[in-house]
């Protein structure tokens, strides 16, 4: 649970807004289901609900939501793209006269992109939790 979430135990009071819509948008963080009602994001677990307010509703403004509420995804994408491109380019320069140079550089760039994207995401997520 992050500092901006409210925990509502199910045994104290069953809670669910009639108008809330089940959604796939957002990180489930182990929740069974998640719902949105405007900027309200509700995650349902077996024993509780975790509720927080987003600054921007992702159904209305997906890019604005990423910038305001989930910048770790933008950083991960940028870090992954930059690292993947750089690694692929360098590998290709080193192996351009060898067979399968393009394939090798693309695969190496892909793996570098995944690793850098994950690392970028993890660092920003950690920094945001302080």
How do residues 68-95 score in pLDDT, each as one tens digit? Answer: 999 999 999 999 999 999 999 999 999 9
- Cβ count within 10 A of residue 5: 15
pLDDT, tens digit (0-9, with 9 covering 90-100), for 7-45: 999 888 777 778 899 999 888 989 999 999 999 999 999
Residue given tokens 């024993």 in the structure block: 47
Please return the burial class of 117, using the count of CB atoms within 10 Å of its CB with bins 0-12, 13-18 and 19+. buried
Structure-block tokens of residue 80: 């992954």
User: What pLDDT, on a 0 to 100 scale, did the predictor assign at position 37?
Assistant: 92
What global pTM score does this model have? 0.74
């Amino acid at each position: 649970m992050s500092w901006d979430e409210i925990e509502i135990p199910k045994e104290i009071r069953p809670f669910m807004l009639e108008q809330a819509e089940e959604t796939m948008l957002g990180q489930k963080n182990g929740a069974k289901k998640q719902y949105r009602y405007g900027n309200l994001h509700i995650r349902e677990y077996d024993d509780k609900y975790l509720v927080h307010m987003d600054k921007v509703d992702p159904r209305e403004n997906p890019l604005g939501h990423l910038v305001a509420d989930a910048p770790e995804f933008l950083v991960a994408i940028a870090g992954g793209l930059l690292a993947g491109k750089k690694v692929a380019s360098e590998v290709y320069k080193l192996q351009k006269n060898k067979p399968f140079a393009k394939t090798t550089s693309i695969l190496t760039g892909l793996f570098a992109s995944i690793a850098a994207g994950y690392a970028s995401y993890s660092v920003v997520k950690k920094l945001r939790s302080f």
